[in-house]
Each structure stands twice: as structure tokens, then as C-alpha cells.
């Protein structure tokens, strides 16, 4: 329906930021490229992604150190801001607690009254 958006939203947690400890080994005749196995860890990140089902695009991706209610709320606010003319949003999510939080209920109530974005 015109003005409606359907998005599938999920988190990618614990994504490791890795760096190779040594440069790749130089090529040699008859040998394929070789790489040392050791790496340096730079911690983990969490990505929150919303895919527009109809358009096949990722909308307003989020990246941070945590996956909390506040992180998810901020992500949704960023997604909603991408299309202020949308009349209705449908988010497909799993049953994670942060997807059913009080802050999302408040956001929904504000939007139904024409406030927020």
C-alpha cells in the first residue's frame, strides 16, 4: 500500500574486528599467495540492520559496542527519519526483549499522535 514500509530488522552481535599480525608472504614462482595465520584482535562490534523488503536495501545501519534497548530505539529512530512521509511502518523482528521494550511502546504512542520521527 502506498506510504507503507516493510522492514526486516536484526542484529549481528560479537563481530570481531581483526587485523593480520604479519603482511602476506611474497609470491613465489609456482606458489599461490600465502598468508600467516596470526591476527590481532581489536574487540567486537554490534551491527543493527534493517532491510527494506520491497526495495532490497539496507536502511540506516547502526554500529556500536552494545546491543541494548537504547541502541535499538536509536536505530529505529534513525530508520524512521529516512522517510518522514511514510504513513505506516512494519518491522519484522524476532522475540528479543529489546524488540518489545517500554521505550518502543512510548515511541509508538508518540508517533500515533503525530509526534516524534
Domain edges within the chain: 4-112
The number of angstroms, rounded, from the C-alpha of 64 to the middle of its chain's C-alpha atoms is 9
Closest CA to 63 of 73, 52, 75: 75
The three grid cell numbers given for residue 27, joined into one nine-digit string: 609470491
Note the pLDDT of residue 115.
46
Q: What is the pTM of this model?
A: 0.77
pLDDT tens for the chain, 117 residues long, are 678 999 999 999 999 989 999 999 888 888 888 888 899 999 999 999 999 999 999 999 999 999 999 999 999 999 999 999 998 899 999 988 888 888 888 887 777 655 444
CA gap 9, 55 in Å, rounded = 14
E strands, the chain, are 4-20, 39-52, 57-64, 88-92
Do the strands 4-20 and 88-92 form a parallel or antiparallel pair, or are they unpaired? parallel
Amino acid at each position: 500500500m502506498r506510504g507503507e514500509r516493510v522492514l526486516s530488522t536484526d542484529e549481528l552481535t560479537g563481530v570481531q574486528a581483526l587485523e593480520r599480525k604479519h603482511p602476506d608472504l611474497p609470491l613465489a614462482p609456482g606458489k599461490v599467495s600465502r598468508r600467516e595465520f596470526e591476527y590481532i584482535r581489536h574487540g567486537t562490534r554490534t551491527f543493527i540492520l534493517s532491510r527494506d523488503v520491497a526495495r532490497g536495501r539496507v536502511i540506516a545501519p547502526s554500529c556500536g559496542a552494545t546491543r541494548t534497548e537504547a541502541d535499538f530505539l536509536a536505530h529505529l529512530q534513525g530508520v524512521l527519519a529516512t522517510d518522514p512521509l511514510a504513513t505506516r511502518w512494519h518491522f519484522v523482528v524476532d522475540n528479543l526483549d529489546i524488540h518489545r521494550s517500554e521505550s518502543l511502546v512510548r515511541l509508538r504512542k508518540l508517533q500515533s499522535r503525530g509526534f516524534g520521527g
